[in-house]
Every structure is written in C-alpha cells, then in structure tokens.
Amino acid sequence: MLALNADLHPASENAHDSLAEAYEAVGDATAALRAYRRVLELNPAAGHAAARVAALTSVKAP
C-alpha cells in the first residue's frame, strides 16, 4: 500500500519517508535507503532522512 502511495504521489516527501520507514521496519535496508534518498532528492533539508541514510550506511555486516 505504501509503495502504491509513493508511485501515485512521486513528489510526496511524506509518501517516500513512510515507505522508507516501512522497509526499515521489515529489515530491507537497501529499499529503505532508496526511499530515504528519494526523500532527500525532494527535500535536501530533510533531517530525519539524512540521519537514517547515515545510520543505515554505517551498519557493518557481522
């Protein structure tokens, strides 16, 4: 549902942020990063998205 919302509203920062949070909640870091980066394309000042990108890219594999 959230992916459909992001598809239907490609310029919605909120739609992509919600999608990113959902991907992160189910452990799909790759998809979460993609969605958070889209948020940053739409709004480079989006602090939450920038923080999540930084956190997700700093995670080290075991």
User: Residues 5-56: pLDDT tens digits?
Assistant: 999 999 999 999 999 999 999 999 999 999 999 999 999 999 999 999 999 9
Query: Could you give all domains of the chain from N- to C-terminal order, each with its CATH number?
Result: 2-57 (1.25.40.10)
Tokens of 10: 């490609």
Q: pLDDT for 18-30, tens place per residue?
A: 999 999 999 999 9
CA distances from 47 to 19, 26, 34, 61 (A): 16, 22, 16, 25
CA-only gyration radius of the chain, Å: 11
